Amino acid sequence: MRKLLLILVALTISVSCNNKTAGPAGAKKLTIAVIPKGTTHEFWKSIHAGGNKAATELSAQGTNVEVIWKGPLREDDREQQIQVVEGFTTQGVNGVVLAPLDDRALVRPVEEAKRAGVPTVIIDSGLQTEAIVSFVATDNRKGGSLAADRLGQLLNGKGKVLLLRYAEGSASTTEREEGFLSEMKAKFPNIELASTDQYAGATRDTAKRASENLLNRFGDDVQGIFTPNESSTAGMLLALQDINKAGKVSFVGFDTSQVFIDAMRAGQLHGIVVQNPFNMGYLGVRTMVDHLLGKPVEKKIDTGVMIVTKENLETPEVQSLLHPPLDQYLK
Amino acid sequence: MVAEVKQNRALLTSAALHTWLNRLGPVLGLVLVIVIFSILMKTPERFLSPNNLRIVLSQTVIVAIGAIGMTMIIISGGIDLAVGSTIALTGVITALGIHSGLAPSLALASGILVGGLVGVIDGLVITRLKVVPFIATLGMLGVARGTAKWVAGEQTVNMADTWLNELLVMFPNPPWLLVAPGVWIAIILAIIAAIVLRNTVFGRRVFALGSNEAAARACGIATDRLKVWIYALAGLLFGLAGVMQMSRLRQGDPTVAAGSELDIIAAVVIGGGSLNGGEGSILGSMIGALIMAFLRNGCQQIGWPNYIQEIIIGAIIVVAVALDRWRTSRAVS
């Protein structure tokens, strides 16, 4: 028993040694905890890198900032994310930057953190409470309207268009869909919205099935398609490729992946609306630091969204958006 | 058999050692975890602050209440793999109850009773259909999870704010409670369960069943009926754990607590429960649950990444089970 415990102690200490190399504490150091929804996806890594960039910049300007990065132990588990917020609250970090897994479940821990003197900036997805400093996220409505502009131009203002929605109850994608529809109706009255009430579902697989059914129903009678997120775009792309229609209809998607870039080069995808997670992490941390330094901050901050097409794909601006400098900021 | 006296002495000393380890092992482990973190931590005063203690206790409640039920099951020689799913199901049921206008107390009762019902079904499948507990509850893991998603309409169930949402808050109201009401509920339930297991006929029968089922049956214990009772009682506790989970999330989430049965089993095992049955204590399991909560909390406050937490918790489970094997072999030899 004693021996085993000794081994355990040795293990614990040896593991901890790596982490004992914290930098020299400045006169006043601000510790900001950044809590993503998960840690393995590229999207969250970009947010992490952006947060680190903000910390590096601010520290160079004389405000010593440390970013602690910590996701829920089990990805996409609300209870685990709540525990992380609670842990940082009692640890007494100066501020929390949180991407809530749920707009209701994370309200209590965020409100309790505020009562304990720890302010929160919300990034990526909304939270139903007033107890936050700011909401730093993509303007999803604008993203949707950008897609409508692109599709309208591709079709020269006429033809039939499909909207394959993502899933019921998903706030961010619903805003993209609404932005798309209202822009389409306002700017391109001659374009007919053939179907706008079908849902892709949560995964690439369900999206592909829904796309197949929809394409089968409309056949050659449709000229343009919009899908509002990564999985629905991937599913639609697969379905189009399967029936050899990829490239024959104008197709605008949302979010980015290597598959989409390849499809765009092959002329099968004519535009993707891309968010800027790197900027989201950067602005999230900067907004929190501004708040802590007593500067006024906006209640809602747009982190930028743009349309990527075959034409602007190789520009430095788009390339830096698609390939944020992760290596530089993530050791 | 060679020298009866010698064997008797050996039995005595090993029995004494056995009890000593059973009682003190987990407590030592908990103290050790807290001391190690306090030494390694840059801000130990925060780690040991009353607020952090409140947080850790609140975070332990769900695993602790589950572990009370699991301790009974494991002492009786059984296992329940469906706890996480049952927590999700009963949380959803309670949330749906409030959502549809039931009084919070009735919604609470319905959540707990559904947990009990799941336990009764487990017990009947095990005793009537002669399916071993591992498989019966593995099946229930899927059935309960699926049912939770079904009744919730494959989405989270939001409901009005009621006093149920106050069960596990960080700052309890009224403040003289010091810790969240749910923590007190868990403590009271643990005391009752410990007394029942130690000092009642029912409790002794649970131990007898787990030590040697055939012998227990030969002594006139209706083992099948006893098993159904054990799973039903444990199910009621899992139902309450589900209500607690709902209270923390302020919503019924059919996908929550996946894998938490493993945390609960680990708590019981770290606390000295033997998967061979016949051994285990409520106090030990409670301490096992606290050890895991302090580990998680401490790892985070030191700033270790998640993978180190997972490795450490995994290693501790193996160490605890190794101790369990070592104790058992000592006791037998």
**With left for phi above 0 and alpha for psi between -120 and 50, is residue B101 left, alpha or beta?**
left
Judge whether B315 is closer than 8 Å to chain A, CB to CB: yes
Residues of chain B below pLDDT 50: 1-3, 5
Q: CA nearest A38 in B: which residue?
A: B306
Task: Indicate if A134 and A160 belong to the same structural domain.
Answer: no
Chain A residues within an 8 Å CB radius of B248: 79, 82, 108
Judge whether B249 is closer than 8 Å to chain A, CB to CB: yes
Q: Which pLDDT belongs to residue A13?
A: 45
- Cα B223 versus chain centre, distance: 23
Q: Which pLDDT belongs to residue B307?
A: 83
Q: Which pLDDT belongs to residue A15?
A: 44
Overall average pLDDT of the A304-318 stretch? 93
Which element (helix H / strand E) includes A193?
Answer: strand A191-199
Chain A residues within an 8 Å CB radius of B29: 5
DSSP state of A23: P
SS3 A168: coil
SS3 B163: helix
The proportion of chain A whose per-residue pLDDT surpasses 70, expressed as a percent, equals 92
Q: Which pLDDT belongs to residue B171?
A: 80
CB B249 to CB A169 under 8 A? no
Amino acid present at A7 = I
Note down the domain range covering A238: 140-275
- Is A327 inside any structural domain? no
Residue from B43, B49, B306, B323 to probe the interface with A (highest A Cβ count within 10 Å)? B306
Residue A78 reports pLDDT greater than 90: no
Overall average pLDDT of the A267-285 stretch? 95
- Is A168 inside any structural domain? yes
Q: Which pLDDT belongs to residue B52?
A: 87
Residue from A2, A4, A88, A91 to probe the interface with B (highest B Cβ count within 10 Å)? A91
Name the token pair of A73.
């132990």
- Is A318 inside any structural domain? no
Rounded CA separation A46/A69 (Å): 12
Rounded CA separation A181/A160 (Å): 13
- Is A21 inside any structural domain? no
CB B249 to CB A83 under 8 A? no
Name the token pair of A113.
């953190």
pTM of the model: 0.76
Angle made by CA atoms B46, B47, B53, in degrees to the nearest 5: 105
Task: Indicate if A104 and A159 belong to the same structural domain.
Answer: no
Task: Indicate if A268 and A251 belong to the same structural domain.
Answer: yes
Chain A residues within an 8 Å CB radius of B32: 5, 8-9
Chain B residues within an 8 Å CB radius of A77: 256, 258
CB A77 to CB B309 under 8 A? no
- Is A4 inside any structural domain? no
CB B80 within 8 A of CB B231: yes
Rounded CA separation B269/B70 (Å): 10
Among residues A257, A275, A293, the one where a domain terminates is A275
Cα of B173 to nearest chain A Cα, Å: 13
- Is A296 inside any structural domain? yes
CA within 13 Å, CB half, A2? 0
Domain CATH number, residue A170: 3.40.50.2300
Overall average pLDDT of the A51-74 stretch? 92
Task: Indicate if A233 and A174 belong to the same structural domain.
Answer: yes
Q: CA nearest B159 in A: which residue?
A: A104
Overall average pLDDT of the A10-15 stretch? 46
B222-228, long-range: CB within 8 Å, 24+ apart, which pairs? B224/B127, B224/B128, B225/B127, B226/B76, B227/B76, B227/B78, B227/B123, B227/B126, B227/B127, B228/B120, B228/B123, B228/B124, B228/B127
The answer to whether the Cα torsion of A145, A146, A149, A151 is positive or negative is negative
Task: Indicate if A126 and A227 belong to the same structural domain.
Answer: no
Q: Which pLDDT belongs to residue B163?
A: 92
User: Total domain count for chain A?
Assistant: 2
Chain A residues within an 8 Å CB radius of B31: none
Task: Indicate if A46 and A113 belong to the same structural domain.
Answer: yes
pLDDT tens per residue across span A94-119? 999 999 988 889 999 999 999 999 99
Output the CA torsion A170→A171→A173→A176 (10° steps): 160
Q: Which pLDDT belongs to residue A100?
A: 92
Which residues numbered 182-241 in B keep a CB inside 8 Å of some CB on A? none
Judge whether B6 is closer than 8 Å to chain A, CB to CB: no
CB A90 to CB B55 under 8 A? yes
Cα of B323 to nearest chain A Cα, Å: 7
CB B40 to CB A13 under 8 A? yes
Which residue from A7, A83, A108 is facing B169, i.e. has the nearest CB?
A108
CB B306 within 8 A of CB B320: no
- Cα B305 versus chain centre, distance: 26
Q: CA nearest A17 in B: which residue?
A: B40
Residue A18 reports pLDDT greater than 90: no
Task: Indicate if A248 and A125 belong to the same structural domain.
Answer: no
Task: Indicate if A268 and A200 belong to the same structural domain.
Answer: yes
CB B301 to CB A112 under 8 A? no
Determine how many CB atoms are found less than 10 A away from the CB of residue B319. Answer: 18
Among residues A224, A259, A275, the one where a domain terminates is A275
CB A116 within 8 A of CB A87: no
Cα of B320 to nearest chain A Cα, Å: 9
Overall average pLDDT of the A144-173 stretch? 91
CB B21 to CB A1 under 8 A? yes
Task: Indicate if A132 and A199 belong to the same structural domain.
Answer: no
Residue A81 reports pLDDT greater than 80: yes
- Is A322 inside any structural domain? no
What is the DSSP annotation of A294-330?
A: T----SEEE--EEEE-TTTTTSHHHHHHHS--HHHH-
CB A155 within 8 A of CB A223: yes
Cα of A91 to nearest chain B Cα, Å: 6
CB pairs below 8 Å between A and B: how many? 118
Judge whether B242 is closer than 8 Å to chain A, CB to CB: no
SS3 B206: helix
Which element (helix H / strand E) includes A292?
Answer: helix A277-292
- Is A63 inside any structural domain? yes
Residue A120 reports pLDDT greater than 50: yes
Q: Which pLDDT belongs to residue A26?
A: 44
Overall average pLDDT of the A173-191 stretch? 95
Asked, as a colleague might, if the bond just before B174 is cis with ω within 30 of 0, I would say: yes
Which residue from A73, A79, A87 is facing B257, i.e. has the nearest CB?
A79
Task: Indicate if A132 and A186 belong to the same structural domain.
Answer: no
Please report which confidence band the pLDDT of residue A178 belongs to, taking 50, 70 and 90 as the band edges. Answer: very high
Which element (helix H / strand E) includes B301?
Answer: helix B282-302
Q: Which pLDDT belongs to residue A176?
A: 95
Which residue from A7, A16, A70 is facing B300, i.e. has the nearest CB?
A70
Which residue from A74, A82, A115 is facing B248, i.e. has the nearest CB?
A82
Which residue from A82, A91, A112 is facing B301, i.e. has the nearest CB?
A91
- Cα A134 versus chain centre, distance: 16
Q: Which pLDDT belongs to residue A300?
A: 94
Backbone angles phi, psi at A165, to 5 degrees: -70, 165
- Cα A162 versus chain centre, distance: 24
Judge whether B298 is closer than 8 Å to chain A, CB to CB: no
Which residue from A68, A71, A83 is facing B59, i.e. has the nearest CB?
A83
Chain A residues within an 8 Å CB radius of B259: 74
Judge whether B254 is closer than 8 Å to chain A, CB to CB: no
CB B322 to CB A4 under 8 A? yes
CB A90 to CB B296 under 8 A? no
Chain B residues within an 8 Å CB radius of A70: 300, 305-306
Task: Indicate if A129 and A180 belong to the same structural domain.
Answer: no
Q: Which pLDDT belongs to residue A17?
A: 40
